[in-house]
Amino acid sequence: MTKNSTAQDIALIAVFAAIVIVLGFVSIPVGVAGVPIVLQNAAVILAGLVLGWRRGFATAAIFLLVGLALPVLAGGRTVISALGGATVGYLAGYLVSAAVAGAIAYLAPFKSNKAATIGILILAGYVALFFQYLCGVFGLMWRAQMSFGAAWAAQAPFLLPDAGKIALMIAIAFAVHQAFPDLRGRRA
């Protein structure tokens, strides 16, 4: 991948959107307000870590646009059905977290310093996860009529599983950037 073209960008966005959709088949109900443990939230962060903020955001946007018509969300739901539920904030968080992960991750010196790159990817992954939670909290406050404190407390069952998922996504992102050092292209 020595040349970063529009066609490559579209292909990468489509592949990552497909990955996010496929991971929608994994859903474990847990916690307050019917919010399940899913892999899609980690996949949108992976898209940002690997593709950068623009392509990561576009991946999340395409995923959500497809979800307007097709049941691509965890549990076989559409975005339309989720808009009226407690998970609406998390959907907005997908867009924010992909962009945040990509913006921070692409500060890393991928080619020159592996330790610094890993550190920046760790920061990017967990800050992005924080923004997913934050958006989710506002969604819970809005749709589930929870207080700010109760909505934050509702995140507790997800902390360890999400921390593990993000650690895996960071390892994958690091491996992808090592295997494809020119992935950043001119957008670096």
Domains of the chain by residue range: 6-184
Fold (topology level) of 6-184: Arp2/3 complex 21 kDa subunit ARPC3 (1.10.1760)
Residue 175 has pLDDT above 50, yes or no: yes
Per residue in 95-136, pLDDT (tens digit) is 999 999 999 999 998 888 999 999 999 999 999 999 999 999
Structure-block tokens of residue 120: 């920046």
Mean pLDDT of the chain: 91
* pLDDT range class, residue 1, cuts 50, 70, 90: very low
Show Cβ contacts of residue 173 under 8 Å, excluding neighbours closer than 6 positions. 46, 49, 50, 105, 121, 125
Q: In the prediction, which pLDDT does 174 show?
A: 96
Across the range 150-158, mean pLDDT stands at 91
- Closest-CA residue to 63 (of 16, 110, 109, 104): 16
30-57 pLDDT tens trace: 755 566 778 999 999 999 999 999 999 9
79 pLDDT more than 90: yes
